[in-house]
């Protein structure tokens, strides 16, 4: 049994003219000690899926489906019970460390407040644990840093602090929402390396959310690609990166530079832009931008089916077309 299983998740947000479905029947599973990736452009519903797991969707959002964590359905939990899961069992790292740490609270407070609430530690024990975590994420002068405010640190250092905040209660899953997107390229590798090391040392599972397949391929074990609220393809990362089978996955990959491969392929952007969630196209939601689209794509919604150890929602297999 997987640590976290999401089944047929749907999220509806209130819109000006009736509810808008931003996540439309999503399934995925996070295994113990693995990194599971959700990929897709902004607006594809990946962040909403993650927020649904933590029960942190906007106030009037509606959630359908099941989110099973260690045998409990998180969707059905009461707010009070959910609070003992958040931060303690499932923690979250946000995209922009410049805004995800409270600017007026010290690093020490950010690290210890939920630690003390969840684990009922004494002030001294909490402080000791906070120093330990800051050492683990390689913050220089951990003791002194406890009394500092976030603005004293650089973006990369702040993200390290945010990771320490997420990990301090020893959660079993960390949701990392674009953890490197807001950082300088030179800093990104360090943060990814840190996440990977912490996962191996602590047996942590990670739900990684990013639009950057380069980041994905460097640490994720398995990936699901989302488009306009639905999963279009999922499978083992290495496999999928080498041989994408959904036209959208292929498009995302061709838009990615490969300097290390010395590869001469031109960078190709996917034409058009994703549909507005208020007005999704019928049939396959990708068909207006798809170069392989056939007539049935315009009318029939392709089902996610098992193909060669992978799941694919496309009747046209680009590999077959190409070769």
Residue 100 lies near other proteins (rule: CB under 8 A) = yes
- Buried b vs exposed e over 23-61: b needs ≥16 C-beta within 10 Å? bbbbbbbbeeebbbbbbbbebbbbbbbbbbbbbebeeeb
With contacts defined by CB under 8 A, how many residues of the chain interact with other proteins?
33
115-134 footprint of other proteins as x/- string (CB under 8 A): --xx----------------
CB 247 within 8 A of CB 271: no
Considering only 9, 11, 134, 165, the residue that binds other proteins (CB under 8 A) is 165
Stretch that binds other proteins, among 100-108, 234-242, 289-297, 308-316 (CB under 8 A): 100-108
Residue 95 CB, nearest distance to other proteins (Å)?
Answer: 8
Residue 87 lies near other proteins (rule: CB under 8 A) = yes
CB 167 within 8 A of CB 204: yes
What CA–CA distances, in Å, run from 230 to 72, 90, 164, 255, 285?
24, 23, 32, 21, 9
Considering only 1, 18, 104, 266, the residue that binds other proteins (CB under 8 A) is 104
Nearer to other proteins, 84 or 299 (CB): 84
CB 50 within 8 A of CB 179: no
Place of tokens 């939920």: 114
Residue 83 lies near other proteins (rule: CB under 8 A) = yes
15-54 footprint of other proteins as x/- string (CB under 8 A): ----------------------------x----------x
CB 128 within 8 A of CB 183: no
Residue 269 lies near other proteins (rule: CB under 8 A) = no
Residue 154 lies near other proteins (rule: CB under 8 A) = no
d(CA 196, CA 97): 19
Radius of gyration of the chain (CA): 21
Place of tokens 């640190």: 153
d(CA 34, CA 57): 25
Provide the residue count of the chain. Answer: 323
Phi-psi region of 279 (alpha: psi -120 to 50; beta: other; left: phi over 0): beta
Residue 227 lies near other proteins (rule: CB under 8 A) = no
Nearer to other proteins, 43 or 318 (CB): 43
Considering only 76, 105, 236, 305, the residue that binds other proteins (CB under 8 A) is 105
Residue 92 lies near other proteins (rule: CB under 8 A) = yes
Which residues of the chain form contacts with other proteins (CB under 8 A)?
A: 13-14, 43, 54, 56, 58-59, 83-88, 91-92, 94-96, 99-105, 113-114, 117-118, 149, 151, 162, 165
């Amino acid at each position: 049994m997987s640590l976290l299983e999401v089944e047929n998740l749907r999220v509806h947000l209130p819109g000006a003219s009736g509810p808008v479905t931003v996540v439309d029947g999503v399934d995925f599973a996070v295994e113990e000690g693995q990194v599971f990736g959700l990929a897709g452009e902004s607006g594809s519903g990946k962040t909403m899926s993650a927020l649904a797991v933590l029960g942190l969707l906007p106030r009037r959002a509606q959630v359908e489906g099941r989110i099973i964590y260690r045998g409990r359905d998180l969707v059905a939990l009461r707010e009070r019970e959910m609070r003992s899961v958040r931060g303690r069992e499932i923690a979250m790292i946000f995209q922009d460390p410049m805004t995800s740490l409270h600017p007026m609270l010290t690093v020490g407070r950010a690290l210890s407040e939920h630690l003390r609430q969840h684990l009922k530690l004494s002030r001294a024990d909490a402080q000791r644990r906070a120093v330990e975590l800051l050492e683990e994420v390689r913050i220089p002068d951990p003791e002194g840093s406890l009394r500092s405010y976030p603005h004293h640190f650089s973006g990369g250092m702040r993200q390290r602090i945010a990771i320490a905040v997420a990990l301090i209660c020893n959660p079993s899953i960390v949701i990392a929402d674009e953890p490197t997107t807001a950082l300088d390229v030179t800093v990104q590798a360090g943060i990814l390396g840190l996440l990977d090391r912490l996962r191996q040392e602590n047996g942590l599972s990670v739900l990684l959310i990013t639009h950057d397949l380069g980041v994905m391929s460097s640490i994720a074990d398995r990936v699901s690609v989302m488009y306009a609220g639905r999963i279009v393809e999922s499978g083992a990362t290495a496999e999928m990166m080498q041989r994408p089978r959904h036209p959208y996955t292929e498009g995302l990959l061709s838009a990615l530079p490969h300097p290390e491969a010395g590869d001469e392929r031109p960078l190709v952007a996917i034409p058009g832009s994703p549909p507005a969630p208020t007005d999704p196209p019928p049939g396959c939601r990708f068909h207006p931008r798809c170069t392989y689209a056939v007539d049935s794509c315009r009318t029939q919604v392709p089902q996610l089916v098992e193909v060669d150890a992978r799941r694919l929602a496309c009747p046209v297999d680009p590999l077959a077309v190409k070769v």
